[in-house]
């Protein structure tokens, strides 16, 4: 959500801060700002709206200095105005603060400070933090931050600078991610490692209740009691070109086209032909412990939740295990009866999703084994789960997830195979699944050839204000995912349903202005799906069909057909994802929407 970038070193901070914020634009924001320290002067520049507005303000009035912090805000308190943008300064100008998270007791703190005569200049919860630090500021900025933290209830990722300590940045974390970047005679602070691409590949991820002290000469990681904490230095495996659009007009389109290679990376080193199974190095559970598991609970949010629904089908088919899929935001507050032979698996792209992290923490508190399926090495969820599997999808910049979803589905397929082979699945069946999976990257490359066909269909239906997405079995979660993609980036109201459920209510919406997208390649219940399609056509509703090759019956029934390659039922979601993503992309393009940065959305939702 909100983005933090900090720098202290031998270079001018302003261009580094701006460039880092540019890397974080995908997270979603409504305003931006920087604070730099030059000599004994604190320079603050802020602007509502896009980062370009801040850049223009800095062109007119630069922010000199070799130390500073910056921020892009996703509103939790107060409208998108210059005054509510971060950084926020203290009453005496001695402190500037950038903050991700929510301070739940800020109203009480604000009232107490107002009674002391402090005048507030914003409607944010963050401003109280700056005042608290300034009230404790004497000869040590670290001490002042440490004294303020116990007074805060809620979550925070903080970056703090002061003109009294002109080369120093203090960071603190509780529930909102922070990462340190280590360079030569310079150090960096960020809320997301993507902000550091091109500057350093050596990073440290802060844990909750830790502080960090950054100087050009080095860093310290401290516990809240100010004792030194050992911190593991990790290497980022992302390259600068990973965060560039290249020849594509949008990150989302680039990431759609990266899916064949992402699928290859997700499977690399995990296919065991000799045993007809998959292999994972980070589960941290031995074979005996894994065989004791007789129930799986997937917990996730958004697109990751849809991947979990597919995981349910896969585990039931391959491993014959009972599976539940829970929205993390609901699961964390329920007191579900879970026996000791269950495992809770959190699915997340960023590894920082607040609800999913809280759900896993609650599960661990109750003694459950936990695993994470995650894209970001060193993220909070990856570190706190008992074990896990990385997606290796590379940085996903577009807010609407595409390639990470494909990697999640691939990993879930391999996990289902792994659990299946430990139970009843035969060696021959395991080898067949591995061979079919290995063929998928090339099949996805073939599928991408539908691009022009999908673009033409999108132009035809881009004026629609409502759409239905319908599928059955493995393609029901894809109907949900297709509808979500359209909502996210084109702002068209869309709903996904099991095709047979359409007649139990949604059919009332059908008219000539409400297109239905049918996911109907040939498969086990193709005839049933065709019957549902006929019900739509009988009521005058336009039908866009995603169908298999040489489907003459579908061609005679649907208004428009997008052809995808024929694959086994359990692999159809991987193939169907591409036309669904492209359809949403091109409808959004025709409607003039900001595809990579859709309104009101954030890539990594780190508040509840």
Beta bridge partners of 47: 32
Alpha-carbon torsion (138, 141, 144, 148), positive or negative: positive
CB 344 within 8 A of CB 374: no
Other Cβ atoms closer than 10 A to 227: 7
Q: What does DSSP assign to residue 119?
A: P
DSSP for 271-315 reads EETTTTEE--S-----HHHHHH--EEEEEE-HHHHHHHHHHHHHH
Alpha carbons within 13 A on the beta-carbon side of 247: 2
C-alpha closest to that of 523 among 559, 562, 573, 469: 573
CB 25 within 8 A of CB 43: no
- The residues, ordered by sequence, that sit 6+ positions from 516 with a Cβ below 8 Å of its Cβ are 467, 468, 469, 470, 502, 510, 533, 536, 541, 542, 543, 544
Q: How far is residue 558's CA from residue 575's CA, in Å, rounded to a whole number?
A: 20
Q: How far is residue 85's CA from residue 75's CA, in Å, rounded to a whole number?
A: 9
The residues annotated with a catalytic role in the active site are 2, 603
CB 26 within 8 A of CB 597: yes
Q: How far is residue 528's CA from residue 498's CA, in Å, rounded to a whole number?
A: 12
Cβ burial of 498 (10 Å; 0-12, 13-18, 19+) is middle
Query: Measured at the alpha carbon of residue 382, what is the angle toward residues 381 and 383, in degrees to the nearest 5?
Result: 90
C-alpha closest to that of 47 among 76, 23, 19, 71: 71
Burial string for 200-215 (b: 16+ CB within 10 Å, else e) reads: bbebbbbbbebbbbbb
Q: How far is residue 97's CA from residue 589's CA, in Å, rounded to a whole number?
A: 38
Q: How far is residue 371's CA from residue 280's CA, in Å, rounded to a whole number?
A: 12
Q: How far is residue 231's CA from residue 251's CA, in Å, rounded to a whole number?
A: 33
Q: How far is residue 481's CA from residue 476's CA, in Å, rounded to a whole number?
A: 9
- The residues, ordered by sequence, that sit 6+ positions from 441 with a Cβ below 8 Å of its Cβ are 260, 261, 263, 264
Q: What does DSSP assign to residue 29?
A: -
Cα 420 to Cα 9, 313, 314, 390: the distances in Å are 53, 13, 10, 20
CB 384 within 8 A of CB 361: yes
Q: How far is residue 197's CA from residue 183's CA, in Å, rounded to a whole number?
A: 12
Burial string for 361-370 (b: 16+ CB within 10 Å, else e) reads: bbbeeeebbb
CB 395 within 8 A of CB 197: yes
């Amino acid at each position: 959500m909100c983005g933090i970038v900090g720098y202290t070193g031998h270079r001018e901070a302003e261009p580094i801060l701006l460039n880092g914020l540019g890397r974080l634009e995908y997270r979603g924001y409504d305003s931006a700002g920087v604070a730099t320290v030059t000599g004994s002067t604190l320079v603050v520049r802020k602007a509502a709206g896009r980062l370009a507005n801040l850049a223009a303000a800095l062109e007119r009035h630069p922010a000199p200095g070799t130390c500073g912090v910056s921020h892009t805000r996703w509103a939790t308190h107060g409208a998108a105005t210059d005054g509510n943008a971060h950084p926020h300064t203290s009453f005496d100008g001695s402190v500037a603060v950038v903050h991700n998270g929510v301070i739940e007791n800020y109203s009480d703190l604000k009232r107490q400070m107002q009674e002391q005569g402090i005048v507030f200049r914003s409607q944010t919860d963050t401003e109280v933090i700056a005042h608290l630090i300034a009230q404790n500021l004497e000869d040590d900025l670290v001490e002042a931050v440490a004294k303020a933290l116990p007074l805060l209830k809620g979550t925070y990722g903080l970056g703090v600078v002061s003109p009294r300590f002109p080369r120093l940045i203090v960071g603190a974390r509780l529930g909102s991610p922070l990462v340190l970047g280590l360079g030569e005679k310079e150090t960096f602070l960020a809320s997301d490692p993507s902000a550091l691409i091109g500057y350093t590949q050596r990073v440290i991820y802060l844990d909750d209740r830790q502080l960090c002290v950054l100087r050009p000469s080095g860093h310290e990681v401290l516990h809240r009691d100010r004792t030194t904490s050992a911190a593991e230095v990790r290497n980022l495996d992302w390259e600068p070109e990973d965060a560039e659009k290249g020849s594509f007009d949008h990150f989302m389109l680039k990431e759609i086209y990266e899916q064949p290679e992402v699928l290859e990376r997700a499977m690399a080193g995990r296919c065991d032909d000799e045993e007809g199974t998959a292999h994972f190095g980070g589960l941290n559970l031995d074979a005996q412990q894994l065989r004791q598991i007789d129930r799986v609970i997937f917990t996730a949010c958004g697109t990751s939740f849809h991947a979990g629904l597919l995981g349910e089908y896969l585990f039931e088919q391959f491993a014959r295990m009972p599976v539940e899929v829970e929205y993390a935001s609901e699961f964390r507050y329920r007191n579900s009866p879970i026996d000791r032979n269950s495992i809770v698996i959190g699915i997340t792209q960023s590894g920082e999703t607040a609800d999913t992290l809280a759900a896993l923490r609650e599960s661990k508190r109750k003694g459950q084994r936990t695993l994470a399926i995650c894209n970001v090495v060193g993220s909070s969820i990856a570190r706190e789960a008992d074990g896990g599997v990385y997606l290796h999808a590379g940085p996903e910049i577009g807010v609407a997830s595409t390639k990470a979803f494909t990697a999640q589905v691939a990993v879930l397929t391999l996990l289902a195979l792994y659990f299946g082979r430990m139970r009843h699945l035969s060696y021959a069946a395991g080898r067949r699944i591995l061979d079919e999976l290995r063929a998928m990257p090339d099949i996805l490359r073939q599928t991408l050839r539908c691009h022009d066909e999908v673009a033409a269909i999108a132009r035809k239906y881009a004026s629609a204000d409502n759409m239905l997405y319908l599928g059955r079995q493995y393609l029901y979660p894809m109907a949900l995912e297709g509808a979500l993609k359209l909502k996210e980036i084109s702002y068209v109201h869309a709903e996904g349903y099991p095709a047979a459920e359409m007649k139990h209510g949604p059919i009332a919406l059908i008219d000539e202005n409400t297109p239905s997208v049918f996911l109907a390649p040939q498969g086990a219940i193709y005839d049933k799906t065709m019957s549902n399609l006929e019900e739509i056509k009988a009521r005058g509703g336009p039908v866009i069909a995603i169908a298999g090759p040489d489907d003459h019956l579908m061609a005679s029934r649907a208004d428009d057909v997008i052809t995808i390659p024929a694959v086994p039922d359990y692999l159809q979601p991987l193939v169907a994802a591409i036309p669904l993503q492209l359809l949403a992309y091109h409808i959004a393009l025709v409607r003039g929407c900001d595809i990579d940065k859709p309104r009101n959305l954030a890539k990594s939702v780190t508040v509840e």
